[in-house]
Structure 1
Protein backbone atom coordinates (compact mmCIF):
# COMPACT_ATOMS: atom_id res chain seq x y z
CA UNK A 1 0.00 0.00 0.00
CA UNK A 2 1.28 3.50 -0.86
CA UNK A 3 1.94 5.64 2.21
CA UNK A 4 0.16 8.73 0.91
CA UNK A 5 -1.01 11.70 2.98
CA UNK A 6 -1.76 14.28 0.28
CA UNK A 7 -3.76 14.03 -2.95
CA UNK A 8 -3.74 16.98 -5.36
CA UNK A 9 -6.22 17.20 -8.21
CA UNK A 10 -6.42 18.70 -11.65
CA UNK A 11 -9.94 20.03 -12.41
CA UNK A 12 -10.78 20.41 -16.11
CA UNK A 13 -11.53 16.99 -17.64
CA UNK A 14 -10.54 15.32 -14.37
CA UNK A 15 -13.28 16.50 -11.97
CA UNK A 16 -15.33 18.83 -14.18
CA UNK A 17 -15.98 19.04 -17.91
CA UNK A 18 -17.85 21.43 -20.17
CA UNK A 19 -21.54 20.54 -20.55
CA UNK A 20 -21.37 21.27 -24.28
CA UNK A 21 -18.70 22.28 -26.80
CA UNK A 22 -17.55 25.90 -26.57
CA UNK A 23 -19.00 26.60 -30.03
CA UNK A 24 -22.50 25.62 -28.82
CA UNK A 25 -22.32 28.01 -25.84
CA UNK A 26 -21.02 30.84 -28.00
CA UNK A 27 -23.64 30.23 -30.72
CA UNK A 28 -26.46 30.29 -28.12
CA UNK A 29 -25.17 33.63 -26.79
CA UNK A 30 -25.03 34.99 -30.35
CA UNK A 31 -28.63 33.87 -31.02
CA UNK A 32 -29.77 35.77 -27.93
CA UNK A 33 -28.47 38.92 -29.68
CA UNK A 34 -30.02 38.07 -33.03
CA UNK A 35 -26.72 36.90 -34.55
CA UNK A 36 -26.55 33.55 -36.37
CA UNK A 37 -23.18 31.77 -36.35
CA UNK A 38 -22.53 28.05 -36.83
CA UNK A 39 -21.31 26.32 -33.63
CA UNK A 40 -18.73 24.30 -35.62
CA UNK A 41 -17.22 27.48 -37.06
CA UNK A 42 -17.09 29.05 -33.59
CA UNK A 43 -15.41 25.94 -32.15
CA UNK A 44 -12.75 26.02 -34.89
CA UNK A 45 -12.19 29.76 -34.43
CA UNK A 46 -11.99 29.35 -30.65
CA UNK A 47 -9.29 26.67 -30.88
CA UNK A 48 -7.20 28.83 -33.19
CA UNK A 49 -7.61 32.01 -31.10
CA UNK A 50 -7.05 30.20 -27.78
CA UNK A 51 -3.79 28.67 -29.04
CA UNK A 52 -2.49 32.03 -30.31
CA UNK A 53 -3.53 33.91 -27.15
CA UNK A 54 -1.89 31.27 -24.92
CA UNK A 55 1.31 31.53 -26.96
CA UNK A 56 1.45 35.35 -26.89
CA UNK A 57 0.10 35.83 -23.36
CA UNK A 58 0.81 32.65 -21.37
CA UNK A 59 -1.02 31.98 -18.08
CA UNK A 60 -3.79 34.53 -18.83
CA UNK A 61 -1.25 37.28 -19.49
CA UNK A 62 -0.43 37.45 -15.78
CA UNK A 63 3.23 38.30 -16.44
CA UNK A 64 2.25 41.00 -18.96
CA UNK A 65 -0.16 42.99 -16.84
CA UNK A 66 -3.42 41.48 -18.09
CA UNK A 67 -6.19 40.18 -15.86
CA UNK A 68 -7.70 36.83 -16.79
CA UNK A 69 -10.97 38.66 -17.40
CA UNK A 70 -9.34 40.90 -20.04
CA UNK A 71 -7.61 37.83 -21.49
CA UNK A 72 -10.87 35.90 -21.88
CA UNK A 73 -12.91 38.85 -23.15
CA UNK A 74 -10.27 39.29 -25.85
CA UNK A 75 -10.42 35.57 -26.75
CA UNK A 76 -14.23 35.69 -27.09
CA UNK A 77 -14.19 38.83 -29.24
CA UNK A 78 -11.47 37.46 -31.52
CA UNK A 79 -13.34 34.14 -31.83
CA UNK A 80 -16.47 35.92 -33.05
CA UNK A 81 -14.48 38.22 -35.37
CA UNK A 82 -12.77 35.22 -36.94
CA UNK A 83 -16.27 33.75 -37.42
CA UNK A 84 -17.49 36.88 -39.24
CA UNK A 85 -19.08 38.99 -36.46
CA UNK A 86 -17.63 42.51 -36.32
CA UNK A 87 -20.12 44.79 -34.53
CA UNK A 88 -18.19 46.12 -31.51
CA UNK A 89 -21.16 46.77 -29.22
CA UNK A 90 -22.52 43.25 -29.62
CA UNK A 91 -19.03 41.72 -29.31
CA UNK A 92 -18.46 43.46 -25.96
CA UNK A 93 -21.86 42.38 -24.61
CA UNK A 94 -21.41 38.75 -25.68
CA UNK A 95 -17.86 38.59 -24.33
CA UNK A 96 -18.91 39.94 -20.91
CA UNK A 97 -21.91 37.60 -20.72
CA UNK A 98 -19.88 34.53 -21.67
CA UNK A 99 -17.13 35.40 -19.20
CA UNK A 100 -19.72 35.47 -16.41
CA UNK A 101 -21.48 32.32 -17.67
CA UNK A 102 -18.26 30.35 -17.33
CA UNK A 103 -17.81 31.73 -13.77
CA UNK A 104 -20.67 29.53 -12.59
CA UNK A 105 -21.53 25.85 -12.74
CA UNK A 106 -23.96 26.72 -15.57
CA UNK A 107 -21.51 25.52 -18.24
CA UNK A 108 -19.75 22.81 -16.21
CA UNK A 109 -20.74 19.33 -15.07
CA UNK A 110 -19.12 17.00 -12.55
CA UNK A 111 -17.53 13.94 -14.14
CA UNK A 112 -19.05 10.56 -13.25
CA UNK A 113 -17.62 9.24 -10.01
CA UNK A 114 -15.84 12.48 -9.05
CA UNK A 115 -17.98 13.44 -6.04
CA UNK A 116 -18.01 9.89 -4.66
CA UNK A 117 -14.25 9.46 -5.09
CA UNK A 118 -13.47 12.81 -3.42
CA UNK A 119 -15.78 11.94 -0.49
CA UNK A 120 -14.16 8.54 -0.03
CA UNK A 121 -10.67 10.07 -0.14
CA UNK A 122 -11.66 12.60 2.53
CA UNK A 123 -13.11 9.81 4.68
CA UNK A 124 -9.75 8.00 4.46
CA UNK A 125 -8.13 11.09 5.95
CA UNK A 126 -6.10 12.32 2.98
CA UNK A 127 -5.15 15.99 2.81
CA UNK A 128 -6.67 17.27 -0.42
CA UNK A 129 -5.88 20.19 -2.69
CA UNK A 130 -6.37 21.45 -6.25
CA UNK A 131 -3.51 22.25 -8.64
CA UNK A 132 -5.03 23.65 -11.83
CA UNK A 133 -4.12 25.79 -14.84
CA UNK A 134 -7.37 27.68 -14.30
CA UNK A 135 -8.08 31.35 -13.73
CA UNK A 136 -9.44 32.90 -10.54
CA UNK A 137 -13.04 31.86 -11.29
CA UNK A 138 -12.21 28.31 -10.20
CA UNK A 139 -13.21 28.55 -6.52
CA UNK A 140 -16.63 29.85 -7.54
CA UNK A 141 -17.07 27.06 -10.10
CA UNK A 142 -16.04 24.42 -7.53
CA UNK A 143 -18.40 25.88 -4.91
CA UNK A 144 -21.35 25.91 -7.29
CA UNK A 145 -20.52 22.36 -8.39
CA UNK A 146 -20.55 21.29 -4.72
CA UNK A 147 -16.91 20.13 -4.78
CA UNK A 148 -15.10 22.95 -2.97
CA UNK A 149 -15.68 21.54 0.55
CA UNK A 150 -13.45 18.53 -0.20
CA UNK A 151 -10.30 20.66 -0.46
CA UNK A 152 -7.97 22.35 2.02
CA UNK A 153 -6.52 24.62 -0.68
CA UNK A 154 -7.06 25.55 -4.33
CA UNK A 155 -4.02 26.63 -6.35
CA UNK A 156 -4.64 28.15 -9.77
CA UNK A 157 -1.94 29.10 -12.21
CA UNK A 158 -3.31 32.66 -12.27
CA UNK A 159 -3.01 33.04 -8.49
CA UNK A 160 0.40 31.42 -8.12
CA UNK A 161 1.91 32.82 -11.32
CA UNK A 162 3.12 29.36 -12.40
CA UNK A 163 1.31 27.07 -14.83
CA UNK A 164 1.74 23.31 -14.92
CA UNK A 165 4.09 21.69 -15.88
CA UNK A 166 6.16 24.30 -13.96
CA UNK A 167 7.38 22.48 -10.86
CA UNK A 168 6.85 25.55 -8.65
CA UNK A 169 3.06 25.16 -8.54
CA UNK A 170 3.48 21.60 -7.22
CA UNK A 171 6.17 22.71 -4.76
CA UNK A 172 3.78 25.34 -3.43
CA UNK A 173 1.12 22.65 -2.86
CA UNK A 174 3.64 20.55 -0.94
CA UNK A 175 4.65 23.55 1.19
CA UNK A 176 1.03 24.43 1.96
CA UNK A 177 0.26 20.90 3.13
CA UNK A 178 3.58 20.26 4.88
CA UNK A 179 3.75 16.84 3.22
CA UNK A 180 6.96 15.53 1.58
CA UNK A 181 6.67 14.67 -2.14
CA UNK A 182 7.06 10.91 -1.63
CA UNK A 183 3.87 10.96 0.51
CA UNK A 184 1.88 12.92 -2.10
CA UNK A 185 0.19 12.03 -5.39
CA UNK A 186 -1.36 14.13 -8.15
CA UNK A 187 -4.40 13.02 -10.16
CA UNK A 188 -4.97 14.47 -13.64
CA UNK A 189 -5.78 13.73 -17.27
CA UNK A 190 -2.77 15.30 -19.02
CA UNK A 191 0.42 13.26 -19.40
CA UNK A 192 2.82 16.23 -19.55
CA UNK A 193 1.16 18.80 -17.29
CA UNK A 194 -0.18 16.41 -14.67
CA UNK A 195 1.49 13.01 -14.61
CA UNK A 196 5.03 13.78 -15.72
CA UNK A 197 5.18 17.18 -13.98
CA UNK A 198 4.13 15.76 -10.60
CA UNK A 199 6.63 12.91 -10.86
CA UNK A 200 9.40 15.41 -11.72
CA UNK A 201 9.07 16.89 -8.20
CA UNK A 202 9.09 13.43 -6.59
CA UNK A 203 5.33 13.01 -6.17
CA UNK A 204 3.37 9.95 -7.28
CA UNK A 205 1.13 10.38 -10.30
CA UNK A 206 -2.16 8.90 -11.49
CA UNK A 207 -3.25 9.54 -15.08
CA UNK A 208 -6.98 9.52 -15.81
CA UNK A 209 -7.28 8.03 -19.26
CA UNK A 210 -10.84 7.70 -20.50
CA UNK A 211 -11.76 5.26 -23.25
CA UNK A 212 -10.75 6.43 -26.70
CA UNK A 213 -7.75 8.47 -25.60
CA UNK A 214 -4.45 7.65 -27.25
CA UNK A 215 -1.82 5.68 -25.39
CA UNK A 216 0.77 7.86 -23.66
CA UNK A 217 4.43 6.85 -23.43
CA UNK A 218 5.92 5.21 -20.37
CA UNK A 219 2.99 5.08 -17.97
CA UNK A 220 2.91 1.87 -15.91
CA UNK A 221 -0.59 0.33 -15.84
CA UNK A 222 -0.76 0.74 -12.04
CA UNK A 223 -0.61 4.52 -12.56
CA UNK A 224 -3.48 4.62 -15.08
CA UNK A 225 -7.08 5.31 -14.02
CA UNK A 226 -9.76 4.10 -16.46
CA UNK A 227 -12.19 6.00 -14.17
CA UNK A 228 -11.80 8.01 -10.96
CA UNK A 229 -13.51 5.14 -9.13
CA UNK A 230 -10.33 3.05 -9.59
CA UNK A 231 -8.15 5.43 -7.56
CA UNK A 232 -8.45 4.04 -4.02
CA UNK A 233 -7.95 0.46 -5.19
CA UNK A 234 -4.73 1.48 -6.98
CA UNK A 235 -3.48 3.37 -3.89
CA UNK A 236 -4.17 0.35 -1.69
CA UNK A 237 -2.57 -2.04 -4.18
CA UNK A 238 0.52 0.19 -4.54
Structure 2
Protein backbone atom coordinates (compact mmCIF):
# COMPACT_ATOMS: atom_id res chain seq x y z
CA UNK A 1 0.00 0.00 0.00
CA UNK A 2 1.26 3.51 -0.84
CA UNK A 3 1.97 5.54 2.28
CA UNK A 4 0.19 8.69 1.19
CA UNK A 5 -0.94 11.60 3.35
CA UNK A 6 -1.92 14.17 0.71
CA UNK A 7 -3.99 13.84 -2.46
CA UNK A 8 -4.09 16.77 -4.90
CA UNK A 9 -6.66 17.00 -7.66
CA UNK A 10 -7.04 18.58 -11.05
CA UNK A 11 -10.59 19.90 -11.60
CA UNK A 12 -11.69 20.33 -15.23
CA UNK A 13 -12.43 16.94 -16.80
CA UNK A 14 -11.26 15.22 -13.62
CA UNK A 15 -13.88 16.31 -11.05
CA UNK A 16 -16.07 18.68 -13.10
CA UNK A 17 -16.88 18.99 -16.78
CA UNK A 18 -18.83 21.48 -18.84
CA UNK A 19 -22.47 20.49 -19.33
CA UNK A 20 -22.50 21.78 -22.91
CA UNK A 21 -19.82 22.49 -25.53
CA UNK A 22 -18.60 26.08 -25.51
CA UNK A 23 -20.17 26.74 -28.93
CA UNK A 24 -23.62 25.78 -27.66
CA UNK A 25 -23.38 28.03 -24.59
CA UNK A 26 -22.15 30.95 -26.68
CA UNK A 27 -24.89 30.37 -29.29
CA UNK A 28 -27.56 30.34 -26.54
CA UNK A 29 -26.25 33.66 -25.21
CA UNK A 30 -26.31 35.09 -28.74
CA UNK A 31 -29.93 33.93 -29.24
CA UNK A 32 -30.93 35.83 -26.11
CA UNK A 33 -29.82 38.98 -27.97
CA UNK A 34 -31.55 38.11 -31.21
CA UNK A 35 -28.47 36.77 -32.98
CA UNK A 36 -28.43 33.46 -34.84
CA UNK A 37 -24.91 32.02 -34.67
CA UNK A 38 -23.96 28.42 -35.36
CA UNK A 39 -22.40 26.48 -32.44
CA UNK A 40 -19.70 24.78 -34.60
CA UNK A 41 -18.57 28.16 -35.95
CA UNK A 42 -18.44 29.58 -32.42
CA UNK A 43 -16.51 26.54 -31.16
CA UNK A 44 -13.97 26.96 -33.95
CA UNK A 45 -13.65 30.69 -33.30
CA UNK A 46 -13.23 30.05 -29.57
CA UNK A 47 -10.47 27.48 -30.12
CA UNK A 48 -8.55 29.89 -32.35
CA UNK A 49 -8.90 32.88 -30.01
CA UNK A 50 -8.27 30.86 -26.83
CA UNK A 51 -5.11 29.32 -28.30
CA UNK A 52 -3.73 32.62 -29.57
CA UNK A 53 -4.54 34.42 -26.31
CA UNK A 54 -2.99 31.65 -24.23
CA UNK A 55 0.25 31.92 -26.18
CA UNK A 56 0.37 35.71 -26.05
CA UNK A 57 -0.84 36.08 -22.45
CA UNK A 58 -0.10 32.80 -20.64
CA UNK A 59 -1.77 32.00 -17.33
CA UNK A 60 -4.51 34.64 -17.82
CA UNK A 61 -1.95 37.36 -18.52
CA UNK A 62 -0.98 37.50 -14.86
CA UNK A 63 2.63 38.49 -15.57
CA UNK A 64 1.50 41.14 -18.06
CA UNK A 65 -0.74 42.88 -15.54
CA UNK A 66 -4.08 41.48 -16.71
CA UNK A 67 -6.75 40.08 -14.41
CA UNK A 68 -8.30 36.76 -15.40
CA UNK A 69 -11.60 38.61 -15.80
CA UNK A 70 -10.05 40.98 -18.37
CA UNK A 71 -8.44 37.98 -20.09
CA UNK A 72 -11.71 36.06 -20.36
CA UNK A 73 -13.75 39.08 -21.47
CA UNK A 74 -11.23 39.63 -24.26
CA UNK A 75 -11.29 35.95 -25.33
CA UNK A 76 -15.09 35.84 -25.34
CA UNK A 77 -15.47 39.18 -27.11
CA UNK A 78 -12.96 38.27 -29.81
CA UNK A 79 -14.72 34.91 -30.28
CA UNK A 80 -18.00 36.67 -31.08
CA UNK A 81 -16.24 39.17 -33.36
CA UNK A 82 -14.51 36.37 -35.25
CA UNK A 83 -17.94 34.73 -35.65
CA UNK A 84 -19.22 37.91 -37.30
CA UNK A 85 -20.82 40.01 -34.53
CA UNK A 86 -20.13 43.70 -35.22
CA UNK A 87 -22.04 45.50 -32.46
CA UNK A 88 -19.49 46.19 -29.70
CA UNK A 89 -22.12 46.95 -27.06
CA UNK A 90 -23.77 43.55 -27.57
CA UNK A 91 -20.36 41.81 -27.65
CA UNK A 92 -19.44 43.43 -24.32
CA UNK A 93 -22.75 42.46 -22.73
CA UNK A 94 -22.57 38.85 -23.94
CA UNK A 95 -18.99 38.50 -22.72
CA UNK A 96 -19.95 39.79 -19.25
CA UNK A 97 -22.96 37.49 -19.06
CA UNK A 98 -20.93 34.42 -20.03
CA UNK A 99 -18.17 35.29 -17.56
CA UNK A 100 -20.80 35.23 -14.80
CA UNK A 101 -22.58 32.15 -16.19
CA UNK A 102 -19.43 30.04 -16.11
CA UNK A 103 -19.17 30.74 -12.40
CA UNK A 104 -22.51 29.06 -11.74
CA UNK A 105 -23.31 25.40 -11.19
CA UNK A 106 -25.67 25.37 -14.18
CA UNK A 107 -22.73 25.21 -16.60
CA UNK A 108 -20.81 22.49 -14.76
CA UNK A 109 -21.56 18.92 -13.79
CA UNK A 110 -19.74 16.66 -11.35
CA UNK A 111 -18.15 13.67 -13.05
CA UNK A 112 -19.55 10.24 -12.16
CA UNK A 113 -18.01 8.91 -8.95
CA UNK A 114 -16.27 12.17 -8.05
CA UNK A 115 -18.28 13.09 -4.95
CA UNK A 116 -18.25 9.54 -3.59
CA UNK A 117 -14.52 9.12 -4.20
CA UNK A 118 -13.67 12.42 -2.51
CA UNK A 119 -15.82 11.49 0.49
CA UNK A 120 -14.16 8.08 0.79
CA UNK A 121 -10.69 9.61 0.56
CA UNK A 122 -11.50 12.03 3.38
CA UNK A 123 -12.92 9.19 5.47
CA UNK A 124 -9.60 7.35 5.04
CA UNK A 125 -7.84 10.37 6.51
CA UNK A 126 -6.16 11.81 3.44
CA UNK A 127 -5.47 15.52 3.35
CA UNK A 128 -6.83 16.97 0.12
CA UNK A 129 -6.13 19.93 -2.10
CA UNK A 130 -6.78 21.21 -5.62
CA UNK A 131 -4.03 22.06 -8.14
CA UNK A 132 -5.66 23.50 -11.24
CA UNK A 133 -4.83 25.70 -14.23
CA UNK A 134 -7.88 27.81 -13.48
CA UNK A 135 -8.75 31.37 -12.61
CA UNK A 136 -9.97 32.79 -9.32
CA UNK A 137 -13.60 31.74 -9.90
CA UNK A 138 -12.72 28.17 -9.00
CA UNK A 139 -13.43 28.42 -5.26
CA UNK A 140 -16.95 29.65 -6.03
CA UNK A 141 -17.54 27.01 -8.71
CA UNK A 142 -16.44 24.20 -6.38
CA UNK A 143 -18.69 25.57 -3.62
CA UNK A 144 -21.70 25.81 -5.92
CA UNK A 145 -21.09 22.24 -7.15
CA UNK A 146 -20.88 21.08 -3.50
CA UNK A 147 -17.24 19.93 -3.69
CA UNK A 148 -15.32 22.72 -1.92
CA UNK A 149 -15.71 21.22 1.55
CA UNK A 150 -13.56 18.22 0.60
CA UNK A 151 -10.40 20.32 0.25
CA UNK A 152 -8.03 22.01 2.68
CA UNK A 153 -6.79 24.30 -0.06
CA UNK A 154 -7.60 25.30 -3.65
CA UNK A 155 -4.48 26.35 -5.56
CA UNK A 156 -5.14 27.91 -8.96
CA UNK A 157 -2.52 28.84 -11.51
CA UNK A 158 -3.74 32.43 -11.31
CA UNK A 159 -3.11 32.58 -7.55
CA UNK A 160 0.17 30.65 -7.70
CA UNK A 161 1.57 32.62 -10.62
CA UNK A 162 2.63 29.37 -12.30
CA UNK A 163 0.62 26.96 -14.44
CA UNK A 164 1.01 23.21 -14.68
CA UNK A 165 3.32 21.61 -15.79
CA UNK A 166 5.59 24.17 -14.02
CA UNK A 167 7.02 22.33 -11.03
CA UNK A 168 6.58 25.38 -8.79
CA UNK A 169 2.79 25.01 -8.57
CA UNK A 170 3.23 21.45 -7.27
CA UNK A 171 5.95 22.59 -4.85
CA UNK A 172 3.54 25.21 -3.51
CA UNK A 173 0.84 22.54 -3.10
CA UNK A 174 3.26 20.37 -1.12
CA UNK A 175 4.09 23.36 1.09
CA UNK A 176 0.39 24.04 1.68
CA UNK A 177 -0.21 20.36 2.40
CA UNK A 178 2.79 20.12 4.70
CA UNK A 179 4.06 16.81 3.33
CA UNK A 180 7.16 15.65 1.41
CA UNK A 181 6.63 14.68 -2.26
CA UNK A 182 6.87 10.94 -1.61
CA UNK A 183 3.80 11.11 0.66
CA UNK A 184 1.63 12.89 -1.92
CA UNK A 185 -0.19 11.86 -5.10
CA UNK A 186 -1.83 13.94 -7.80
CA UNK A 187 -4.92 12.89 -9.76
CA UNK A 188 -5.63 14.39 -13.18
CA UNK A 189 -6.63 13.71 -16.77
CA UNK A 190 -3.70 15.28 -18.64
CA UNK A 191 -0.56 13.23 -19.26
CA UNK A 192 1.86 16.18 -19.45
CA UNK A 193 0.32 18.71 -17.05
CA UNK A 194 -0.88 16.29 -14.40
CA UNK A 195 0.67 12.82 -14.55
CA UNK A 196 4.20 13.60 -15.68
CA UNK A 197 4.50 17.02 -14.02
CA UNK A 198 3.63 15.67 -10.56
CA UNK A 199 6.13 12.82 -10.94
CA UNK A 200 8.82 15.31 -11.95
CA UNK A 201 8.72 16.77 -8.40
CA UNK A 202 8.77 13.34 -6.77
CA UNK A 203 5.03 12.90 -6.17
CA UNK A 204 3.03 9.84 -7.09
CA UNK A 205 0.34 10.41 -9.70
CA UNK A 206 -2.65 8.76 -11.33
CA UNK A 207 -3.98 9.47 -14.82
CA UNK A 208 -7.74 9.48 -15.29
CA UNK A 209 -8.32 8.09 -18.75
CA UNK A 210 -11.51 6.54 -20.03
CA UNK A 211 -11.30 3.54 -22.34
CA UNK A 212 -10.51 4.52 -25.91
CA UNK A 213 -8.81 7.81 -25.02
CA UNK A 214 -5.53 6.67 -26.55
CA UNK A 215 -2.49 5.13 -24.97
CA UNK A 216 0.45 6.97 -23.46
CA UNK A 217 3.34 4.52 -23.59
CA UNK A 218 4.99 5.78 -20.40
CA UNK A 219 2.03 5.11 -18.08
CA UNK A 220 2.03 1.77 -16.27
CA UNK A 221 -1.47 0.28 -16.03
CA UNK A 222 -1.41 0.54 -12.21
CA UNK A 223 -1.26 4.34 -12.59
CA UNK A 224 -4.28 4.57 -14.92
CA UNK A 225 -7.79 5.25 -13.61
CA UNK A 226 -10.59 4.10 -15.94
CA UNK A 227 -12.89 5.96 -13.49
CA UNK A 228 -12.31 7.88 -10.26
CA UNK A 229 -13.91 5.00 -8.35
CA UNK A 230 -10.77 2.92 -9.03
CA UNK A 231 -8.51 5.29 -7.08
CA UNK A 232 -8.59 3.79 -3.58
CA UNK A 233 -8.09 0.28 -4.97
CA UNK A 234 -4.96 1.42 -6.82
CA UNK A 235 -3.61 3.23 -3.75
CA UNK A 236 -4.12 0.14 -1.62
CA UNK A 237 -2.43 -2.05 -4.21
CA UNK A 238 0.49 0.34 -4.71
TM-score with structure 1 setting the length = 0.99
Residue in structure 2 matched with residue 176 of structure 1 by the alignment = 176
Residue 146 (structure 1) shift: 0.2
- Match status 1:14 vs 2:9: no
Residue in structure 1 matched with residue 201 of structure 2 by the alignment = 201
Residue 211 (structure 1) shift: 2.3
For 1:62-141, list aligned pairs within 5 A. Answer: 62-141=62-141
Residue 148 (structure 1) shift: 0.1
For 1:65 and 1:98, locate their aligned partners in 2 and report how far apart those are by CA, in whole Å: 22
> How many residues are paired up?
238
Secondary structure in 2 aligned to 1:20? coil
TM-score with structure 2 setting the length = 0.99
Residue 103 (structure 1) shift: 1.1
Residue 72 (structure 1) shift: 0.3
For 2:16 and 2:190, locate their aligned partners in 1 and report how far apart those are by CA, in whole Å: 14
List alignment gaps of at least 5 residues for structure 2. none
List alignment gaps of at least 5 residues for structure 1. none
Superposed CA offset, 1:103-132 (max 9, x none): 111210000000000000000000000000
Further displaced range: 192-201 or 209-218? 209-218
For 2:171 and 2:32, locate their aligned partners in 1 and report how far apart those are by CA, in whole Å: 45
Superposed CA offset, 1:173-204 (max 9, x none): 11111101001000000000000000000000
Residue 216 (structure 1) shift: 1.3
